[in-house]
Structure 1
Amino acid sequence: MQFEVLTDVGRKRTVNEDSAAVYTLTEGILLAVIADGMGGHRGGDHASSTAIKVIGKQFMELDSTAFEAEEHWAEWLQNAVVHVNKLLYNQAEENEELKGMGTTLDAAIIWGQSCLVSHIGDSRVYTISEEGVHQVTRDHSYVNVLLESGEITEEEAAIHPKRNWIMKALGSEKTVDPDFYSMKLNERTYLLLCTDGLSNKVNQQRMKEIVLSEATLREKTKELVDLANEMGGEDNISVILINSTGAEVNNL
């Protein structure tokens, strides 16, 4: 399994409030995590980087031989997310400079041909193959609520003045209830995790063209980020691209 991680401040921001990382255990088990922080420069950066580091540290300390079934991984991931949410919430309550902070979070655990995704916010997970691009996650955003109810069109959503309002974030409330998705993987599909700095700028057709090109994985990742910058780069841009994944998706 191969992967590339790239995060970029973009063309308009001075601080990168995104964080992204991939952790691997010796058994070949992989955890990919991406986060887009909010709540001011210090708060947003702190929220996203803390979420990534804390979950990554817990993952690297695991004895994965005790995890034989999907429900074991789902329980661990749920507990890890709840732990980080409580940590961030308490830090914001105790530190005036961090009040109002929060972060999106997408975490994907891959073992064998299985993948489990935990999702909070409006960062996204896609599968990309010759069959097309599939958005695995559902945005927890105000605009997506309007879109799903039929009150606005996709064209209107793209320019809506409140398109950056998210309805659920890690650390902003005392409790959190992430979405979970389960997938079976194959070798002909890529898994793409990204913040909205990419998804707001690069359409699915261009994603597919870049990811399925003959370029190296690193070149594809850089081309996605470069294109988002060329399209304006108003936000931070982060991408994790993993090969040999993707297929049947079930919302748990």
Structure 2
Amino acid sequence: MCFSVRTDIGKKRTFNEDQAAVFVLDNGYILAVIADGMGGHKSGDVASSMAVRLMGEYFTGLKTEIPDSREQWNEWLSENVRNVNHLIYEKAQSSAEHEGMGTTLEAAVIAKGQCYIAHVGDSRVYLIDAENATQVTKDHSYVNALLASGEITEEEAEVHPQRNWIMRAVGSEKSIDPDFYHVPFKEDGNYLLLCTDGLSNKVDAETLHQMVNTDATLEEKVIQMIDLANDRGGEDNITAVLLSASKLGADVL
């Protein structure tokens, strides 16, 4: 397994509220986490930092009774996303400075050729192979709710003035219900991309597919994605984690 992690402030923001990291156990199991914070001045950074750090601590603390099935990993993800939600919510309630803060969260565990995902918000996970870039997660956004109900078209969704409104975030409410997804992730040539909306709002799935399926290194591919998002406006922070199922040519392991 190889991976690359990169975040960029973008062209318009004065600080970066995105966070991302990859954590690796001794047995080779991997947790990739990405979070896009929101709230008052710099509170979004607090929320996203807490989410990534805490999920990493829970994962690297797995020493015994490591989950070994889809049901067990979903249970582990559910318990710990809810723990993170509770701690961020409590911090937000304890200080006027942090009131109302929250964060999106994508947490993807890769174990024995399988990927188990917990999803909250409008950051995304894509599965990319030689043929397609498939969006695995469904945005918890106002626009996506309108789209699902048939009130707007996909073309209208792309330019809707409220397309950045999210309807679910970690830490913004006392309790949270993540969505869970599962995809196989063991074929050479398969990639997993986690990204914030600073990337997905600027670079469509087909372009992501084309950029990933080149001879560039993983790091070069991620840099190219972020550069393109900046070239197209860069109004938001831009963060991506790209993982390859290949065991060869690792950028970081």
Check the 8 A contact 2:4/2:219 in 1, yes or no.
Answer: yes
Q: How far apart are 1:87 and its partner, in Å?
A: 0.3
Superposed CA deviations along residues 31-60 of structure 1, whole A, max 9, x for unmatched, are: 000000000232100000110001101111
Partners of 1:65 and 1:95 in 2: CA distance = 37
Q: How does 1:106-145 map to 2 (within 5 A)?
A: 106-145=106-145
> Once structures 1 and 2 are overlaid, which stretch shifts more, 189-198 or 60-69?
60-69
Equivalent position of 2:234 in the other structure: 233
Superposed CA deviations along residues 110-142 of structure 1, whole A, max 9, x for unmatched, are: 011111000000000001111211100000000
Check the 8 A contact 2:10/2:238 in 1, yes or no.
Answer: yes
Check the 8 A contact 1:5/1:240 in 2, yes or no.
Answer: yes
Q: How does 1:193-212 map to 2 (within 5 A)?
A: 193-212=194-213
Task: Please state if 1:159 is matched with 2:164.
Answer: no
Q: How far apart are 1:66 and its partner, in Å?
A: 3.4
Partners of 1:134 and 1:31 in 2: CA distance = 20
Check the 8 A contact 2:47/2:101 in 1, yes or no.
Answer: yes
Task: Please state if 1:172 is matched with 2:172.
Answer: yes
Partners of 2:77 and 2:54 in 1: CA distance = 12
Superposed CA deviations along residues 178-227 of structure 1, whole A, max 9, x for unmatched, are: 00001112222100000000000001121011100110111001000000
Q: How far apart are 1:2 and its partner, in Å?
A: 0.3
Partners of 1:66 and 1:187 in 2: CA distance = 26
Partners of 2:51 and 2:68 in 1: CA distance = 25
Q: How far apart are 1:65 and its partner, in Å?
A: 5.3
Q: How does 1:1-252 map to 2 (within 5 A)?
A: 1-63=1-63, 66-185=66-185, 186-244=187-245
Partners of 1:64 and 1:135 in 2: CA distance = 33
Equivalent position of 1:249 in the other structure: none
Partners of 1:187 and 1:150 in 2: CA distance = 38
Partners of 2:13 and 2:188 in 1: CA distance = 37
Amino acid at match of 1:27: N
Count of aligned pairs between the two proteins: 245
Amino acid at match of 2:61: E
- Between the two proteins, what is the percent identity of the paired residues? 55
Q: How far apart are 1:70 and its partner, in Å?
A: 2.4
Q: Provide structure 2 residue ranges, at least 5 long, that are not aligned to the other structure.
A: 247-253
Partners of 1:41 and 1:35 in 2: CA distance = 17
CA RMSD between the two structures: 1.1
Superposed CA deviations along residues 218-242 of structure 1, whole A, max 9, x for unmatched, are: 1001000000000000000000000
Superposed CA deviations along residues 87-106 of structure 1, whole A, max 9, x for unmatched, are: 01111111110001000000
TM-score, normalised via structure 2 length = 0.94
Check the 8 A contact 2:40/2:99 in 1, yes or no.
Answer: no
Q: Tell me, what secondary structure is at the counterpart of 2:215?
A: coil
Check the 8 A contact 2:39/2:101 in 1, yes or no.
Answer: yes
Q: How far apart are 1:64 and its partner, in Å?
A: 5.2
Partners of 2:68 and 2:117 in 1: CA distance = 17
Check the 8 A contact 1:74/1:116 in 2, yes or no.
Answer: yes
Partners of 2:75 and 2:236 in 1: CA distance = 33
Q: Tell me, what secondary structure is at the counterpart of 2:28?
A: coil
Q: Tell me, what secondary structure is at the counterpart of 1:40?
A: coil
Q: Provide structure 1 residue ranges, at least 5 long, that are not aligned to the other structure.
A: 246-252
List structure 1 runs of 4+ shifted beyond 6 angstroms: none
TM-score, normalised via structure 1 length = 0.95
Amino acid at match of 2:244: N
Partners of 2:100 and 2:9 in 1: CA distance = 22
Partners of 1:137 and 1:236 in 2: CA distance = 20
Partners of 1:147 and 1:41 in 2: CA distance = 31
